[in-house]
Structure 1
Amino acid sequence: MPSVAPRAPQKSGGLPIVWQLCDRYVLLVGGGEVAASRVVHLAAAGAHITVLAPAQGLHPDVRAWIEDGTIDTYIDDKYCDPSQLVRTNGHDYDMILTAIDDAERSRDVCAWSRARRIPVNVADVPDKCDFYFGSMIRQGPLQVMVSTNGRGPRLARLVRQQIEAAISPYAGDAILRVGVLRAQLRAQAPAPALASERMMWMARVCDAFPMRALARLDDATIERWFSSWLH
């Protein structure tokens, strides 16, 4: 019987990925409410954040994050020229975001960034975005993003709220403890030949216990489980 070709995936949006920004340098042009929401995401990702915006009109949260060091560098100025889009050492930023009301200047930032192959996001202008910010759920290492690919941010928020209501409040802690368990298992039995067995054992553990129990895993229990598995 001839094999049936798999159905071709339908083009429906962007590629959902987790962008590693830890210790990367990001420029945020703007200091209002939208900029404040961007800082939340960037800080959680461990980025080095530079904000370019006049002091007058700064969102209170942005001002507080400048004062406490969450924002690494603050430039009290309005964007006027591409020379402001380069770090003080002459190097490019790893990412540039704009959250300002000036559409013409936002387009200039986008064009300059793309010419330099720097990923750019212009708030509320989908065709000027190389990536989107979705509606996020965060619980420790757990991240869930809902994106409408720039089509309906309000609907993304509503869907996110429905998903969030279904997630156990212990999920984040459970993932942290399972991560410890997995790392120690690999350290105790690192041989590639044991990879399949390790994976099956971890799957059985995750399936056998509720989130609440996994969140409360202590080191003594982990050690006891290891002894049982190794012997």
Structure 2
Amino acid sequence: MYPIYLQLKNRKCVVFGGGRVAERKVKTLHRYGASVTVISPDLTPELFRMWINAEIICHYRKYHSGDLRGYFLAISATNDPQVNREIYEEAKREKTLINVVDEPENCDFYVPAIVRRGDLQIAISTSGQSPAMAREIRKIMESLFDESYEEALKIVGNIRSHLKEEVDNPVERRRIMDTIVMPQVMASLQNGTIKQVKDKLREWI
């Protein structure tokens, strides 16, 4: 599969199922700005809370034919293989992106394990072969990329914006940015104060 990041802000997404797995999917979609609808006759306490607080839309019932009409993306997390199959087939007809949990052969996309440090996101996928392995790799990556990378990325982003205004030559801008992300500069970004970082940049650039 082709790895890609999707812009889901205000996109209509639907999740079938109201258990713990569905809850994780719903919370992730909501975190990324999707307009999320849940269709299920049962809800976890957390999904019920999100519904009551108008964070999600909920249809408190089982799947009905026609439920996918108008949705950009769907996740089927029911415990009924026949229902999952019907949802998959309708998604194909409606041209809705579909993920059937634990059925990689019935997925247009996989949901990766994610390491997130602010705007830094590292997605780990085993192409549906072993979600457990993806979770273990995520733990390793979380230890390698700690919270300091969030602030470091903010600083780099601010420098990049400044360079766009101050340096007309794109080749020179790229040279400076390449210098900034060298290991020794990254160490300063993570461990030093902003003043120390600026002093170091004057030395290296």
TM-score range, shorter chain: 0.7 to 0.9
Match of 2:21 among 23, 31, 34: 34
Give the CA deviation at 1:80.
2.5
What pairs up with 1:50-129 in 2 under 5 angstroms?
Answer: 50-54=37-41, 57-71=42-56, 73-82=57-66, 84-86=67-69, 92-129=70-107
Give the CA deviation at 1:85.
2.1
TM-score normalised over the length of structure 1: 0.78
Unaligned runs of 5+ residues in structure 1 are 1-13, 87-91
Match of 1:172 among 124, 145, 150: 150
* Structure label with greater radius of gyration: 1
Q: Say how many residue pairs are matched.
A: 203
Structure 1 counterpart SS, 2:181: helix
CA gap 1:32/1:211 in 2 versus in 1, 3 angstroms: farther
Q: 1:66 and 1:212 mapped to 2: Cα distance?
A: 45
Structure 1 counterpart SS, 2:110: coil
Give the corresponding residue for 1:25.
12
Match of 1:198 among 156, 169, 173: 173
Give the corresponding residue for 1:46.
33
- Establish whether residue 182 from structure 1 lines up as the match of residue 160 from structure 2: yes
CA gap 1:66/1:188 in 2 versus in 1, 3 angstroms: farther
Stretches of 4+ aligned residues off by more than 3 angstroms: 214-219
Deviations 1:88-147 (A, max 9, x none): xxxx11111111011111111111111222111111111111011121111111111211
Q: 1:112 and 1:160 mapped to 2: Cα distance?
A: 33
Unaligned runs of 5+ residues in structure 2 are none
Kept after mapping to 1: 8 A contact 2:113/2:134: yes
Q: CA RMSD in A?
A: 2.7
Q: 2:117 and 2:149 mapped to 1: Cα distance?
A: 7
